[in-house]
A and B are shown apart, each in its own frame.
Chain A
Amino acid sequence: MEIFGVPLQAMFGQLLLGLVNGSFYAMLSLGLAVIFGLLNIINFTHGAVYMMGAYGAYILMSAFGIGYWPALVLAPLAVGVVGMVIERTMLRWLYKLDHLYGLLLTFGLTLVLEGLFRSVYGVSGQPYPVPDLLRGATDVGFMTLPNYRAWVVVASLGVCLATWYVIERTRLGAYLRAGTENPRLVQAFGINVPLMITLTYGFGVALAAFAGVLAAPVIQVNPLMGSNLIIVVFAVVVIGGMGSILGSIVTGLGLGIIEGLTKVYYPEASSTVVFVIMALVLMVRPAGLFGREK
């Protein structure tokens, strides 16, 4: 059986791969959505932070002999702390200003961070092996799926859903959402809003770093790895609706799959298809698929 000239089996394979990429998009856009939704900052450092997560894993391995599994926790923690320092020392001053200032600051920071890593590590990238436990591939009938890719989908979906649950369904999440709606009132109830915002930013950044560690074994660990991805991720956030958490997860996965299919039918367009969709969505629903018009 064939679908438009592509055998059904191959089609399943491509869909599954789309899902793998989609889960990276989902995790990265989730961090952006959390930061935008709660802090109103368009966080352009997200790509650089993703790169720092991957480098964190590499540095832990090469300098301290710490393997993949501890790195999956330690690298995001360390990068999250860096994020909190950035929030405390720089971003804090921009909350009252237009979005544009936050965007410019974070964009500048990205250039600085990428430049630093480039001058220390060069550009040809660092090797990072797949952890022993996940080596090899499993034959799932229609394709051989590398075990590591399967793990990526499981891990990122797990993290995404947990984040969604915490923000939308728990008391802590309610504080967070209230704190961004009306910080003064929430502060009056005895909740430390500035601390909460710092922690939220740290968490969003740690999510990106987590995605970076997940990506390290499958793509080249390179100072520019984030800048190739960040624009697509922004498109995902815009399509999903700025600040919508569920929106960014669903659109991330969906666009991964659409991009995967484009790679089969017309590979030349695979890097543009996301932006075409973005343009179409913006024409029909300017607030994004899941966004609320204010």
Chain B
Amino acid sequence: MKRKLISILVGMALATAPLTPVFAQAKAAGAPKLSDGVVRIGVLTDMSGLYSDLGGAGSVLAAKMAIDDFKAAEKGKAFPIELVSADHQNKADVGAQKAREWYDTQGVDMVTDVLNSAVALAVTKVTAEKKRIMIDTGAASTRLTNEDCTPYTVHYVYDTYALANGTGNAIVKQGGKTWFFLTADYAFGHSLEADTSNVVKAGGGQVLGAVRHPLNASDFSSFLLQAQASKAQVVGLANAGGDTINSIKAANEFGLTKTQTLAGLLVFITDIHSLTLQVAQGMMLTDGWYWDQNDDARKFGKRYFEQIKKMPSMNQAGVYSAVTTYLKAIQAAGTDNSEAVMAQMKKMKINDMFAKNGYIRADGRMVHDMYLMQVKKPADSKYPWDYFTVKATIPAEEAFQPLAKSTCPLIKK
């Protein structure tokens, strides 16, 4: 009886033994002070609408992978982390309401993804009011780091300035001096056209004209005929998603690509996948990240692919990096207090599979290298999703709007 009791006691001791020292170590290393004992990260994205292939379930997966990798790297000593996600349906009011609910009742500390500029601009206001953190990876508007900047927002992956600058500059340098724009007739298209026009003119080029098409115009042949008649060397596509895809399809069909160069100003790898290389070949575009750009990116891309059977877009890769950076900053700051974590993030260098020596500026802009890509010919594509040749790396300092030009009130001038 006594022996049995001892053996039970010994067994219990052995069973709990591995736990005790771990606990002790975690305390010794200084576990971060967490507001409610857990760090909650919210992925707010388009789960079913026109941008859901760029973000959506893929962004949630990327965030989950980032959390799992962080926990694995900390060898079980990591602080508790929870992931929540929601569909903002591309509606600014729905997005803002969800963010408010998360902050008020569910203790969410940070939201990420937040693609769609209209939603992002609404959520950034709620975030600042509630003093939490938004790391936006999906929205394009430069307003997030200009007039609408806040001390609680980071703009992580790309913006219209970087896109216009990258593609515009490179093509003008290659001799594409005369431009004609196909522009989606709303704020986003106009600003993309204006940004690119400035770059073209600054490089000594000339803008011959533009045609403003309605959003979701399913047939682009008429507009392309006008672009063809302009005799411009370059046709800039200042539109996005389905409009871009249909423009490129029609350009190919009407033989426009034989005499003129197409410049996609906002093209994602998912668009190329949907178009096929046969149709998209030769097009130039700017991307913030490409799964095949280096070993780290490839490793991430393949792990991601195994789970969802698609390669990640720059937005989804950005979510992974943003979540990782945020968690590392909490670890280093020793707290999840928004101001402290933000200060820490702005001090850190970001080095991971997404960015090399990236850093976050005072206006919230995450500055990192961008890439000028050319879509491969079908014959040069050796394996699935082998779509781009990296034509040039645009150095971080040149890729984004210079801090001196930012109209963000946070910058002391």
Residues of chain A at the chain B interface (Cβ within 8 Å):
7, 10, 13-14, 17-18, 20-21, 115, 118-119, 122-127, 129-130, 137, 143-144, 146, 148-149, 218-220, 222, 224-225, 228-229, 260, 263-264, 267-268, 270-272
The docked-state distance in angstroms from the alpha carbon of A220 to that of B270 is: 13
Would you mind naming 30 contact pairs between A and B with Cβ atoms under 8 Å apart? A7-B229, A13-B225, A18-B222, A21-B219, A118-B52, A123-B48, A123-B49, A123-B51, A123-B53, A124-B53, A124-B271, A124-B273, A124-B274, A125-B242, A125-B274, A129-B276, A129-B278, A137-B253, A143-B225, A144-B254, A149-B253, A218-B219, A220-B245, A220-B249, A220-B274, A263-B223, A267-B222, A268-B212, A270-B213, A271-B217
Residues of B contacting A219 in the complex (Cβ-Cβ under 8 angstroms): 218-219, 246, 249
Which size bracket describes the interface of B in this complex? 35 or more
Shortest distance from the beta carbon of A21 to any chain B beta carbon, whole Å: 5
Is B384 close to A, CB under 8 A?
A: no
B185 touching A137 by the CB < 8 A rule? no
Q: Which residue of the partner chain B has the closest CB to A261?
A: B222
Residues of B contacting A119 in the complex (Cβ-Cβ under 8 angstroms): 48
Residues of B contacting A13 in the complex (Cβ-Cβ under 8 angstroms): 225
B198-219 with Cβ < 8 A to chain A: 211-214, 216-219
Residues of A contacting B223 in the complex (Cβ-Cβ under 8 angstroms): 263, 267
Shortest distance from the beta carbon of B314 to any chain A beta carbon, whole Å: 14
B274 touching A126 by the CB < 8 A rule? yes
A229 touching B214 by the CB < 8 A rule? no
Residues of B contacting A127 in the complex (Cβ-Cβ under 8 angstroms): 274-276, 279
Q: Which residue of the partner chain A has the closest CB to B270?
A: A124
| Given A267-B211, A270-B213; A218-B226 close (CB under 8 Å) | no
A17 touching B225 by the CB < 8 A rule? yes
Is B111 close to A, CB under 8 A?
A: no
Going nearest first, the 9 A-B pairs with the smallest beta carbon separation are: A271-B214, A263-B222, A124-B53, A127-B276, A125-B274, A124-B274, A146-B253, A124-B270, A220-B245
Residue with the highest number of chain B CB atoms closer than 10 Å, among A14, A225, A260, A267: A267
A146 touching B254 by the CB < 8 A rule? yes
A10 touching B229 by the CB < 8 A rule? yes
A229 touching B274 by the CB < 8 A rule? no
Shortest distance from the beta carbon of B219 to any chain A beta carbon, whole Å: 5
